[in-house]
Amino acid sequence: MGLCARDRLAVALDLPSLERAREAIDALDGVPGWLKVGAQLFAAAGPEAVRAAGRRGRVFLDLKLHDIPRQVAAAVDAATAHGVSMLTLHAAGGSAMLAAAREAAEDAAARTGRERPALVAVTVLTSLGEDGLAEVGVAGGVDRQVGRLLDLARAAGLDGVVASAREAAWIRRRAGAGFTIVTPGIRGAGDPPDDQARTAPAGEAVAAGSDLLVVGRPILRSGDPAAAARAVVDEIERALAAA
């Protein structure tokens, strides 16, 4: 992951149609280095959304794959053939699933001549806090569960994890340099948290060790998405300069 500030920002195209996504991509004017295609847009537009995003940035396909190993491997194979640069899967799918995904990405890249996508494992969704984890039967709190899943992802040879800025500093100490930390839930001081439970400003996330910040609604609902994205890039740049 390069240190250029714009390469540290992924704008989430969490939109209901390909037309809306294309409008957002044009409005962003190439400011972010990454564009994220998530479940909503992919369900609405499929691979065409990946192609549209790929014309203006690197594509982060965020489908949070979580299925039996064979199905996840097949999905990773197809995503690699579409030329995505990063994709997500749930670490909670287990070591066999994670290993199958890694092997599928390597095989598909070799077969197609495409770049192997970075595989990042979701630890605990940023919409969940301690109560939410307990509700689904996970004991020990957020940090303990993130640690469990971090170790599982590393053992499976994945490239990184998705985690909030609140966990980023100790993940960096535990995983070391070269392990990618993707952080959603980025909110400025004046931004509503929406449905996010564990949020942080962009500069704080970078200072804590996050590599790639995912920002959606605060940018897309602004009157000028390019200016809003540029403000986040500027904040990232200041944090990198101070590091």
pLDDT digit string, tens, across residues 25-64? 999 999 999 999 999 999 999 999 999 999 999 999 999 9
User: Does residue 140 have a pLDDT over 90?
Assistant: no
Beta bridge partners of 36: 12, 60
Q: Considering 64, 116, 217, 238, which one is annotated as catalytic?
A: 64
pLDDT, tens digit (0-9, with 9 covering 90-100), for 203-233: 999 999 999 999 999 999 999 999 999 999 9
Active-site residue flag, 36: no
Nearest to 215 by CA among 234, 190, 187: 187
Is residue 239 exposed (0-12), middle (13-18) or buried (19+ Cβ within 10 Å)?
A: buried
How many whole angstroms separate alpha carbon 145 and alpha carbon 9? 26
CATH 3.20.20.70 holds for 5-242: yes
Report the C-alpha gap between 236 and 48 in whole angstroms: 30
- pLDDT tens, 154-206? 999 999 999 999 999 999 999 999 999 999 989 876 766 667 766 789 999 99
Q: Which pTM was predicted?
A: 0.93
At 102 the pLDDT is 98
Q: What is the domain partition of the chain in residue ranges?
A: 5-242
DSSP codes joined into one string, 60-84 = EEEEEE-S-HHHHHHHHHHHHHTT-
3-class secondary structure for 13-25?
Answer: CCCCCHHHHHHHH
Condensed to tens digits (0 to 9), the pLDDT of residues 57-116 reads 999 999 999 999 999 999 999 999 999 999 999 999 999 999 999 999 999 999 999 999
Averaged pLDDT for residues 1-8: 80
Instruction: Say how far apart CA 175 and CA 180 lie, in whole Å.
Output: 9
Alpha-carbon torsion (229, 82, 118, 121), positive or negative: positive
